[in-house]
Structures are given as C-alpha cells and as structure tokens.
Homo-oligomer: A and B are copies of this chain.
Amino acid sequence: MSPSSRGEPYQRVLAEVLSRVKPTPEERLKVGKVISRLFKAFKELKGLIPVNFKVEIEGSIAKDTWISGDKDIDVFILFPRSISVEELRAYGLRIAKACADRVGGEYRERYAEHPYLEVFIRGYHVDIVPAFMIRSPEEMISAVDRTPLHTKYVRSKLGAKMRDEVRLLKQFMKGIGVYGAERRVSGFSGYLAELLVIHYGSFIDVLKGVSSWRPHRTLIDIEGHYPPRLIEVVKEGFGKPPLVLIDPVDKRRNAAASVSLEKMATFIAASRFFLRKPSVRYFYPPKPSDINLREELKKRGTCLLAVKLPCPKLPPDVLWGEIYRSLEGFRNLFKAHSFEVLSCSAWSDEEERIVFLFELSSGRLPYLERHVGPPVGSPNEEDFVSKYLRGAYVLAGPFIEGNRWVVYKLRAFTRAKELLLKGAGKVRHGKHIAKLLDSMEVYEGEELDVLLNSFGEPFKEYFISWLTKRLYWLEG
C-alpha cells in the first residue's frame, strides 16, 4: 500500500475521537452532583441497620474511564465479612431502597448472584450493589466482592493520559461491535479494555499488540503471576478459551473469559486494518443504508426465514443464554433435515419480542432423499432391506453402493418453513422460551417486510446489518 493511500495520520483521528469521548466539565459536574446526593443519603441512613457498612463508587466513573454520554453509576455497599449472606442480602436491599426513596429515584430489584437495586435518578442509571468488604480475592464470598479490588488496581495504574487511551479503546471496541462482556455480545469488558491499556501502554500500542494475537494461543499475564514455562498448563486449566488474560488481582480468574472467538478475531482484524489506514469510521460506524427486501431476495436467490416469539421476562444474560440455545437448536434442526444454513442470528428488544433469523441456500428440497444404511454383511442388513423393500415412501433401491446399503426415499420435510412450524417443539430450548412456542410465527422471504415495517428502527438496522454483513470500518 502506498503512503498516500494510508488515509489520515492516526494522531488526527485520535484527537477527533478524543474530543468526542472525553466527558465535558458540565457532564462531570452533573455526575458529581448525583453522587453527592447518594452519599448524603447513605450517611443519613447509618444506624438504620445494626451493622456497619461503607459506600464506594466503582466502575468506570470511579476509575475515570467513562465515555461522554455514559449514564451508568455503580455504587457498592460494602459489609464486613462477619455477617451472613442472608444478612447481607436483607440489609443491602433495605439500605439501597431507603437511599433510593431519599433521593427520590424510581427503582426495581434485579438479580445477579445477590439481589441489587437499579435506580433511575436525573437521567442516570444507578446500580446499588451490596457486597462483602475484602482485601484479597481469597476472602471473596461472591464474584461482585472482587469489583472494588479491580477499581483499586486500575486507579493505581492509570494516570490522566492513559485514562484517555482507555476511552479511545472502549469507543473503538464499541464501534467495531466487540464491547461488552454480556452474553449477547460475548466481547470485551470495560475492565479488560483498561487492563489492555495498562499492559500495552497506549491505545495505538494495544492495537499493535492485538495485531499479532492468535486465537487459542495468546495469553497475557500483566503481573507475572505464572512463570512462562507454565503458560500451556495455565491455558489448559482455563479450558483453552480463545483469549486468556490473567486478572492482575486474582490469578485464578481469566479476565477475558467472556470473549468469543469471533469477537477476538474481529478485534484483531480491525486493529490490523486500522493501523494500515486509520479512520474515524472504526469508532463511529455509519448507519446502514436502507435496502429493498424484494430486490435483495431476487439478487440472492436464497431463502430468508424469521421466527418471531414473545420475549420472556428474564435478566438479559439469562435471556440471551436461552436465545442462543434455541438458535443452535433451530440450526441443528435444519441440518438434521439437510437444509443448508448459510447464516443465522437472533435479535431481541429484551422486552417484548425475540426474532430468529435464518438464511438458507434453499427453502425447498427435492422429495427424494438419499438414505445410507448399514454395510453389506452387517447384522442389521436384513432389517434394513426388508424395511425398505416395499412401501410407497421408497423411490429407488434398496441398492448397494461401495460396501453399503442405500435407499432413496421420500423426504419428511421438503419445505423449510413447514419444518420450522412442525419441528420447533422437537428442538432443545431454554425452559422459558419452550413455554412460548405456541405463539411462534414464521415469516418467509418477502413476508419479512411485515416485521421490518412494524418493529421499528433497531430491528431494521440489525436486520440490514445481518443481511448485508458489511464491516463498515473496512470501507473508510
């Protein structure tokens, strides 16, 4: 590639992005005010319960690695380890609710390992999380207890300059679609982004490092918890995931456990291409342009199918666990009936609807199906032959091909849509989705326009991205 085609120098790109991701003084002031309100409320609540507690801000606000526009505040109520888990749950919720009442926020209870409170105050979304106060991971009772250790570690390592590098990295990850440790994304957590900047030193150095990552080979051990000669054993111990990054505060934990192969590969590819030709597009992908479904179907000649289901009320990670299980189930159903799945995906607003999307080579298969039986001379050959010797469902044979009995018989399902409608119940589903199958609707080809016209922009954008499969950052 000639230097002239390399686009803008990356300094100019990063300066522009930084001006957009860095919180403004007004934003900081606003967040500060919300936090002051919360602390004031908590202070007034001391004595409400018979144990001592400490309140701390965690997450990207505490580490000052948040991005302009973020509205998330994580507040931890830390209890001494001397109380029981039951006490922690009861006291935690009581304090959290009392605080929410005092600051006048709407709230709802949510569940992770413990119940916690999600509070909405002045446009902010505040999670109030009870946890045990610990000094080292060995004292940990539940996974959230480790969070304050993460906060502490990152704050001790990141100066102002590097915090901006983290902001660039997070926005880059968002732009290319790999940001987020939740199951829906299976990508990189904010903490992981921070660790990468700590390890490599700057945004650009992260990208340079990532350029030579290799899935299932790369292991990063920032604090040198393990001697290099043990690296293979350590990877084995973590179950050979695509990426291993030893959590600096807890060497038993892989801080990159959430990262899927595809998201890791996407990060590698985007890093390599960005370094060749930097562009703002990596950080802010353009909206996909509209498509004409009818035209698109005509050009492709494939079969598009959508399965619509009501959405069960579940915490997102549980919901997406079930969605991905059903998706895999549908894929296997198609495979078992010889329909070639080119691509499949799922979308949900996490409230009302789930949509499973499939593109098949063909939605119709011939009536005739080739069925390979036992080898000649095997004990069950006689059963096979007598089963298929007569019967209207036999189209040819039984005959011998190579060393095996083969028969051509009538296929059970020649239309993919019919297979979905009649076979969905035979697929393994999560228990909440399984109960909703009676409300299933299947749309084929141009029928998908109904969904595109009634489900709103987010679905439409998702669908177009899925169908066109353009990586917009490539086109800068």
Contact = CB atoms under 8 A, between A and B. Distances in A.
Given A366-B301, A367-B300, A400 B266 contact: yes
Contact of A376 (B268, B368, B382, B403): B268
A382 B272 CA distance: 9
A35 interface: no
- Size bracket of the A interface: 35 or more
A26 interface: no
A471 B399 contact: yes
Given A214-B377, A268-B376, 19 more contacts: A261-B403, A262-B401, A262-B402, A262-B403, A265-B404, A269-B381, A273-B382, A299-B367, A299-B368, A299-B395, A300-B368, A300-B395, A342-B368, A342-B408, A361-B365, A361-B366, A362-B366, A396-B468, A399-B471
A403 to B, nearest CB: 5
Nearest to A266: B400
Interface in A352-405: 361-362, 365-368, 370, 375-377, 381-382, 385, 389, 395-405
A413 interface: no
Contacts of A467: 396
Interface in A255-283: 261-262, 265-266, 268-269, 272-273, 276
A469 B396 contact: yes
A156 to B, nearest CB: 33
Interface string A147-183: 0000000000000000000000000000000000000
Contact of A470 (B342, B376, B399): B399
A469 B408 contact: yes
Contacts of A398: 469, 471, 474
Contacts of A302: 366, 368
Given A366-B302, A366-B362, A396-B468, A475 B262 contact: no
A68 interface: no
B471 A265 contact: no
A55 B201 CA distance: 97
A381 B266 CA distance: 13
Given A301-B367, A368-B342, A471 B377 contact: no
A296 to B, nearest CB: 9
Contacts of A262: 400-403
A266 B401 CA distance: 9
